[in-house]
Amino acid sequence: MSQPKIQKILIVNQSAPYSSGSAKESLDLALAAGTFEQDVSILFTGDACYQLLTAQDPKEVDSKNLNQMLKVLPIYGVEKLFIDEQSLLDRNIKHIDSDLRITKISASETRELYQNASTVFRF
Amino acid sequence: MILHTLNKAQSHTDLNQQLTNTCSNQDSVLLIEDGVYQLLDPTIFSRTDHWSFSAKNIFALTNDATARGINQADLEHSIVNISFISYLEFVELAASHTKTISWY
């Protein structure tokens, strides 16, 4: 059996963490793709910036802490995390969780991410 | 005297505009769920085209704010008159207003 081609997968997150299942589902896909040794990048844009706030305590709304779950991504080989800097500025978000090692990128770099991916999933 | 509940961030511009068009200076707005994210950006609370300009009282549900990493102490002081409330106080607010409108 031939070795399957490695896909460059771009997962685009644009949803706030707890009001819908999108953020959790995107994480599930990232972990699955990482497990199968695919080349995974995750981009946070729009309201997904809110996923990166520190000191979230979602047991108040009976959810798991997605911010903590994002920290396991490197263990699954998912290390390319990006955030659209303009989205942060638009929302006056000054502090994101520094444990996450996310790279801030410009609109043109964002466009490049989309162009270079072989598959794009939006959540 | 209406209690408006709003559960979306400011990125939902149409929804926020509809609330702005509806809210009178007798009404209260309660931020719930993703609505609490609006507190991170004090600049929108000084805009005349934002619902906060006409609302008499602005409340935020403490549980939803805490869940999302928003703490009263961290907020910039330029937002005046925001009261953080419990679920029980939410019930009291609903009872003390003539009606409740959900913006979602």
A-chain residues near B7 (CB < 8 A): 19
Q: How far apart are CA B52 and CA B79, in angstroms?
A: 10
Count of CB contacts below 8 A, A vs B? 57
Q: What is the pTM of this model?
A: 0.88
Q: Report pLDDT digits (tens) over A26-67.
A: 999 999 999 999 999 999 999 999 999 998 999 989 888 888
CATH class of the B2-103 domain in this structure: alpha beta
Task: Output the CA–CA distances (angstroms, integers) from residue B24 to A121, B10, B20, in the order listed.
Answer: 42, 19, 9
ipTM, two decimals: 0.82
Domains assigned to chain A: 8-122 (3.40.1260.10)
Other C-beta atoms closer than 10 Å to the C-beta of A116 total 10
Q: Write out residues 55-84 of B within 8 Å (CB-CB) of A.
A: 63-64, 66-71
* Contact (Cβ atoms closer than 8 angstroms) between residue B51 and residue B27: no
Q: How deeply is B16 buried, as exposed, middle or buried, from its count of CB atoms within 10 A (0-12, 13-18, 19+)?
A: buried
The residue ranges of every structural domain in chain B are 2-103
Q: Report pLDDT digits (tens) over A67-76.
A: 888 999 999 9
Work out the end-to-end distance of chain B between its first and last CA atoms, rounded to an integer number of angstroms. Answer: 20
Q: How far apart are CA A103 and CA A43, in angstroms?
A: 9
